[in-house]
Structure 1
Amino acid sequence: MTTAPTDASRANGAPPTDAEGPGDGHALFGPDSQFSALFDDPRWALAMIRATVLEAAHPQIGAALVDNSTFVAHPWRRLRNTFLSMRRMFDVDPAVREREAARLNRLHTRMSGSDSRGRAYDARDRATRAWVVATLFESAVTMCRMSGQPLSQDTMERMYAEYRAFLAALDGDAAALPEELHDFWRYFDRVVENELENTEAARVILFRLFDHLPAPALFDGAPTLWAVGRAVAGPLLGAITVASLPEPYRRRAGLPEMPGTRTLMQGVYVVAGLGRFLPEGWLNAESVIELLSLPAGSDDPRARTMAALQSRIKRASALLRLLGPLGGDPDPVPATDPEPSAAAGQVRRSAEEFFRQVLDQTGDGHLDWPDLAAMARELSTRLDLDEPEETRLYDAFAAWWRELQAALDTDGDGRVSAAEYAAAVPSLAGPALIRVAEVLFDVTDKDGDGTIDADEHRALFRTAFHRDLTTLHGTYGRSAFVSDFLSFMSARRTSTLYDPLLADA
C-alpha cells in the first residue's frame, strides 16, 4: 500500500492515489468500494439509463454518440462492453485499471468531428469526460434516494472520491470535477441549467431506442413474445427515465411528464431495490448481461441454461400467438441455403440484411467510416489488443473504407446508402479487405509461426467470442483463415464465427 497523497497532488485536483479513501480506510477500488457494493444492484440498470440520457444531452457527447456509437443498432453489445469496462476501471489491480484507461483513451482519440450546427466535438475534451463521470455518480446517488434508501453523507463522500479517482485514471488528474462534494452539486446544477440541450441522441434514447430495442440472444426465435414485452416495458422505461431527470432540463427540452409517473417511478425504484435482500450471489450484473447476449452454440457453461430458457420462451411465444393473434409475421423458421455452403452452419442472407446487420453498425441507414471503425473497435476490445496491434487493425479498416467509398459512393456524399450498396451488388473482397483479414490473422498467430494452432484458435473464437469450435485439427493456415473471413464479409453468408461479433445486437 502506498502512502497518502501529498498536499501538492490535492492542490492539482487529484484524488487519493492509493487503494484506500482519504484517511478512512475504505477502498477506492476493488470489492470493498462503494461502486462494487452497488454494481449488482438491480436499480443500477435504471440509473445507467438515466445517466446515459444526461450524457447524451450534452452537445459534445450527443454529437459523438450520433456519429460514432452503435447503441441503436447493437444496444446489448454496447451494454456488455460498458459494464465490462467499468468493472475493469474499478478493479483492485492497478495494472488492469491502467490498461483499460489506455484502451479507452485510444478509443476516444479516434472520435472527433462536428455536430449538425457545425460545432466541433472531441471525445478527449476534459470537461466533457468529467460530465460523463458526474452523471454516473449523481445517478447512483439519485437511484438510492428515489428508492427510499438515501446514502449517508459519509457514503456519498467515499463514493465521490471513487469517481474522481476514476476520472483521474483517465485524464491524469480529476481537476475537471470539484474537489469537494458540496461544490459538486453546484457544478452539476450549473451544467444542467446552462449546457444541456434537447439533442438528437437524447431523443433517440428516450423515444426510439426502447420502442425498437432488438431482442437479445435469449429471445432469439420468439419475436412475438419480445414485441409484446417491449410494447409494455418500452413506454414504461421511457416515462420513468423522463420523470427522473432534473426538472430544469425537462422544462427546457419540453419533455412530457404524464400524471402519476413520479409515483410510478418511485415504485419501480423501490421494487428494484428489493433485490438487495436476495442471498448474496443471486444477482450478478455481468452474469445476467452475458446470459442475455450469449449466442447459440456458445461453449459457456451457462449455454445449457440459456437453451432451456429459450425453449420455454419459444413455447410461450407460440401460446401467445394462439391466444391473441397480433398480426405480422410468425416467429421465423431458420432459412435454408439454396446452394451448398462453404462451411457448416452458414446460410445465405440478402444484400439488404447484410447491409443492415453487418455493415451499418451505427444503425443510421448508411455506411461510412464510423461503421467500419465500430467493427475495428469491437475486434480490438474482444481480443484485448495492445496499441501497436490495435493501430494496425484500425489502419486496415480505414483502407477498406477508402476502397468501398471509391467503388460504391456514386452520388459523392461521402457515404454509401443501402440503395447504392444493393444496386452495385459488389464483391467486397478487394485488396484492402484481404489486408484486414491478414492483420486479424497476425494478431491471432501469437507465436508468429505462420499458422494458428488449436490454442490460438481457442483464444480467438472460444475465449474472445465464446464459440465452441472443436473442428480444428492440426493448424489453421493463413490462406484458409483469410478465405473464411472474406466468405463472411463478401459472400453475405451467416457465420457461426463472426455473426456474434459483428451482426448480433
Structure 2
Amino acid sequence: MSGVRPSARDWTPEEDLLGFFGPDSVTWRVHADPVYSVGGLRALLLQALHPVAMDGVARNSVFRESPWQRLTRTAEYVDTLTFGTRREAIRAVRRVRGLHRRLGGTEETTGRTYRVDDADLLLWVHACEVDSLLDVARRAGVVTPAEADRYVAEQVTAAALIGVDPDDVPASVAELEAYFARVRPQLALTPAAREAWRFLVVPPMPRWVQLLTPARPAWGSLASLAVATLPPWARRLASMPGLALTDTAATAALKAFRTGLLAVPERARRSPIVRAGFDRTAAAEAV
C-alpha cells in the first residue's frame, strides 16, 4: 500500500463505515482503553531517542512553542485513523503526508540530511507507537499474548497508509522486538531529545493552572508511568531509571491507574472522535 492513495472506490459503504479496523479489532480495544494515554506519552518519549526523527520534530513542528497543540494533533490523528470512517482516515493521512513532503533538514550529531517522510523515520515512529500502546495494554491485562500478535499485525495497515512498505513493517511481537534490536545502535539522547523529554515529563503550564487545578500532579502521575514502562535500555539511555518505580511496581501502578479511570464516565475519558466511532458502528449494527 506504500505510495498508494486509496479512494472511496476501493471499498464498500459498509467497509467505509467500519473504518480500517472496526469494533471487532484488537486495535479498537487497545486505543479505547484508559491506559492508552500512558502508552501515547511513552511512545513520544521513545521516539525522541532517534536523533534524526527527533530533529525532524524539533526543527519542523510547533513542539517548543505549543507542546499541547502538537500533542492534541497527534492524538486526533491516531483517533481518526482508528475510529473514523475510511474517508475520514484517508483525509487525515493525506493531510499529514502533504505536510511531511515539505519538511526536512540536516541532523547535526549524525550529519544526515533527511526528509520527514523518509521510510525509516516513518517506520521508527510507527514502531514506537505500536510497542508503547501494546506494552501498557499487556501490562494492564487488556490483551492476551495471542491478541498482542494480532494487534501488531493490524497496525501494519496504519504504517502502510502513512507511506511505509508493508513488507518492511513488523507484523508480530517477535518481529517488533527484532526491529528494536536492529535500531538500538542508532539511538542517542541528543540535546534536542533531552529538551523534548523535559517538555514531556514536566510540561510548561500557566501558573493559575498549577495552583487552581490538579493538572500538575495528574500529569506527573502519567509521566511517571510512561517513563517507568519504557524498556530498561531506553531508560538507561535517557539516564532516567524509571522515576523510582520498579518494573513490577510500574505494572501495579498502571493497573491502579486504569481502575481509577474506568470509574470515570466514558463521555469524560473518551475523545469525541472515539465516541463517534462507537456510536456510528453501534447504530449500524442496530439497523
Q: Describe the superposition over 1:147-203 as per-residue Cα deviations: whole angstroms up to 9, x where unpaired.
A: 3x1622331232112210011112163122134443222112332x32221133432
Give the SS at the match of 2:271.
helix
Q: Which has the larger radius of gyration?
A: 1
How is 1:172-211 mapped onto 2 (pairs within 5 angstroms)?
173-191=165-183, 193-211=184-202
Letter in 2 for 1:194: P
| Structure possessing the higher relative contact order (Cα contacts under 8 Å, 6 or more residues apart) | 2
2:125 to 127, 132, 151: 132
- What residue in structure 2 maps to residue 252 of structure 1? 237
Q: CA 1:247/1:51 → structure 2, altered by over 3 Å: closer, same or farther?
A: same
| Partner Cα separation in structure 1 for residue 145 and residue 200 of structure 2 | 35
The 3-state SS of whatever aligns with 1:90 is: helix
User: How many angstroms apart in 2 are the aligned matches of 1:250 and 1:123?
Assistant: 25
* 1:298 matched residue in structure 2: none
Aligned match for 1:225, one of 179, 187, 212? 212
CA contact (8 A) 1:83 1:286 kept: no
Among 83, 89, 97, the alignment partner of 1:97 is 89
Retained in 1: the 8 A contact 2:152–2:170? no
Rounded to whole Å, the distance in 1 between the matches of 2:130 and 2:250 is 19
Matches within 5 A, 1:154-173: 154-171=146-163, 173=165
- Structure 1 pair 224–122 and aligned structure 2 pair: CA distance change class (3 A): same
Q: Does 1:44 align with 2:27?
A: no
| TM-score, with structure 1 as normaliser | 0.46
Q: For 1:257 and 1:92, locate their aligned partners in 2 and report how far apart those are by CA, in whole Å.
A: 35
* Partner residue of 1:70 out of 46, 62, 65: 62
- Taking structure 2 as the reference length, the TM-score comes to 0.76
- Structure 2 residue runs of 5 or longer lacking an equivalent are 2-9, 13-17, 275-287
Q: Residues 160, 71 of structure 1: CA spacing in aligned structure 2 closer, same or farther, 3 A cutoff?
A: same
Partner residue of 1:274 out of 254, 259, 262: 259
CA separation of 1:264 and 1:282: change in aligned 2, threshold 3 A:
farther
In structure 2, the CA distance between the partners of 1:38 and 1:151, relative to structure 1 (3 Å rule), is: closer
1:53 corresponds to which letter in structure 2?
L
Equivalent runs, 1:55-454 vs 2, <5 Å: 55-91=47-83, 93-117=85-109, 118-147=111-140, 149=141, 151-171=143-163, 173-191=165-183, 193-215=184-206, 222-226=209-213, 230=216, 232-233=217-218, 236-262=221-247, 264-274=249-259, 277-278=262-263, 281-287=266-272
Counterpart Cα distance in 2 of 1:249 and 1:172: 24
- Normalized per residue, the structure richer in helix is 2
Q: 1:96 to 1:28 in 2, by over 3 A?
A: closer
Whether the 8 Å contact between 1:41 and 1:283 is mirrored in structure 2 is no
Q: CA contact under 8 A between 1:35 and 1:159: conserved in structure 2?
A: yes
- Which SS does the other structure have where 2:195 is aligned? helix
Partner of 2:282: none
Deviation at 1:209, TM superposition (A): 3.9
- Give the C-alpha shift of residue 106 in structure 1: 0.7
Structure 1 position 56, deviation (Å): 1.2
- Identity among equivalent positions (%) equals 26
Deviations 1:466-488 (A, max 9, x none): xxxxxxxxxxxxxxxxxxxxxxx
Asked if structure 1 preserves the Cα contact closer than 8 Å seen for 2:30 and 2:134, the reply is no
Structure 1 residue 211, shift from structure 2 partner? 2.8
- Aligned partner letter, 2:155: Y
Structure 1 CA distance for aligned equivalents of residues 136 and 198 of structure 2: 21
- Residues in 1 aligned to 2:133 and 2:60: alpha-carbon distance in whole angstroms: 26
- Residue aligned with 2:204, SS: coil
Q: How many residue pairs align between the two structures?
A: 260
- Counterpart residue identity of residue 105, structure 2: G
How big is the shift at 1:223? 5.0
Taking the aligned partners of 2:232 and 2:218, their CA distance within structure 1 comes to: 23
